[in-house]
Structure 1
């Protein structure tokens, strides 16, 4: 197990002892479990080091759970946090999410739920450790680069800047020859909240995933092979961008021509592909004098490397000498597609918008392939423009959520397939809003009918929102408009009405009735029932059977 130390913070002794007992039964004997009665004591334990997981209640004396998780998140961001709550929908959710809470544990505890959360946290901690090791290797390379005056000077020259005075003694004669610049990209495996092409219809969901990329060992092998292949090259690591999984190195090669480098890299790509080791390279045109043309050569390498956009699943070697004519081709006009897609969205024709977008995708894949940056900009601008048509039609909160989601997703989009997957989902959500607000089709009535039929099952608001491409907040407000109560209250009413009927008309056990009505935990069922009727299920049965 990856979890080595767990801290449980709860001021209620019974709850604290029950939870620690349950956790102890699940984790291996060597896992350390510390028990604390308030947030201050827990934070002092955490400062001693070694903590992987914090399980904390919200309400505690001295220092409450919200203050504790804020301190932990700012000082020990690697620690996973499970927040204990008495309610599934509680007022602290937004604050807790912003502080980095990983999961919630609803009281009363169910052993299977505790087991599920611990397994999930264990997997995430393992992936996080692997990511840290991989990133550390690349960060070590960056650190070496920062210490290396030669590389500092080269970095300045590549960016078209004059090296700092203390670095001007660096001998640049080796670059005073014809040569090329190669920009090499690869992805490392990272544990991140990156959404790759699809997303929940609710607020952005935390869905940590080990993204496809090179392991620590594979990255080391690739870097070694590049050094062997180009022993006289100057390696200059590049700063990371928005994509934390992406690593780039600029390789300056005086005395090397384009044909040789393409041949060497193609051979390396062939070897690497058989080992599931992917990388991509952009090669500049041959410069008459590499030193004087470093910024231009880097720009050329970046431009052709951007064609990775179309080939994320295979190694790619892109040469400016072979591809420079592609940049002269204008972006095709998509105004006709935009008009058709907008009309389909406004009129609620889901299948029509899907077809129009698929036709546009097919058109853009025709030879010659269009410049990726232009394609991404034009498509994302078109979709955002259509999303903006909802301004004033839906609630400001739902509108802001959708627009912010669009900006976030397009900002992290790096492939052609992602671009169209994101676009389709945004259009489907926009279409759903238009049909609901225009009265063409009442998706909320369908959801209410679905809940009436499936209320005994485990149905969350976010799952229902996904069914109709709404945000969870928007759907919640619409359900309240229709029923006069929140989703949770409406679901509770359906379940407890059924429970009342079974209590009076049958002699079945209370626990069995609770399970049939959607409550897998009998103690939780009892609490909900008492809160609603002021009687326990057994008391309710006695009173109403006498009648």
Structure 2
């Protein structure tokens, strides 16, 4: 139902139009009327009608002045003017302002109804087109995120020059230029997630991931990227006076959405220090990444900062002063289960920093450190059913001759990286089985209009976020892209080899709406289904 608003200074004409038309029968809701533009304007701003019918000659504020304001403030509102024969010069001006139609006085009911039908069809078609575009954007968003992730990786690793960053951002339709930047990193996973196995599907986690992702759509100052399977990044933009507030608001909104999930979801947030140059973003990212990696040592601290690191250090020093010089094996296990190779250096630095330089430099601690990490690695690999035979090779066995912190550090780095490598190999085996299952399910069910990333994730029992990440990584295209290409290829075959109606073909390849099918077909192939069929027959 479309909202219509009438502006007419003649009471008899206004009441006649209002009373003599069965508005709802023609798809309209009569939202209100006014006797001149001045009275109408505040009402129009509040109601925001889909269709405005207005006279041209009126006291106080005439129709032309009203049209100019409405066209500027409500560009989607359609405008039809009412005019007499002696108003023709005004009508010409109105047409230049973009009105849709004009009706001559006296108003004949049949002409008014004819206009309403035409306007309803036009607005309905535009609404459909807008829905198609929004649907296509949602389906394409996964691919865009995949491209954005690659772009972001190049930015934070210094792989692109500033001109290359600007050019790539332009191609990806990302507005990246700003006076100041900051990086917010946050990890989001199920509380029981272990990197050795795919993350299982849970309604709660899927809802949180979807809720957090949606937040960024309406905030152009926040550019959202996925960093890896469980970690996301946000590039915060703004002038120097706003960058701190923009960063704080971003963190607060992520926190509020994650906290709603309770203990079922594990989440941590960290940010860097604002920088004024695109070329300085890698430094900002490194800082945020270093702080976020403390989540393995501060499992109860969800929003991590330099202050929380200082607090952890002070607590560690207090324990040392009290005679407790042990490394918590649970911290090592947690890192081995979900940490990444890129985080390993930071993790080791954190342990040594918390122990303190004086004690960490003792030979007895160096040997203890190597033993603690070795046995934690063996125990972890055993817990995930992975053979730890390779850790008994000479380069991975603890060496009693280790006596300096540098020697201990090099050894621990080797063992942790090897353990993560073995964990990831175990995970990849399972990922490939899952992908085969997912692709098989899509191939068998692509004609089902209800198929989606979420439904496929449920079928293979992993989180949509995890499935999306591994599908893009292993297949080289997103799940939605794969599904769409599958559908369009089948549609091409049917167009070439059958005489079925377009509506029948649309239904057979998974589209309930034949117009949306045509919209997607043209987006993918560059021509309409009818044009493709005609070209194939020639």
TM-score (norm 2): 0.33
Which one has the bigger helix percentage? 2
TM-score (norm 1): 0.33
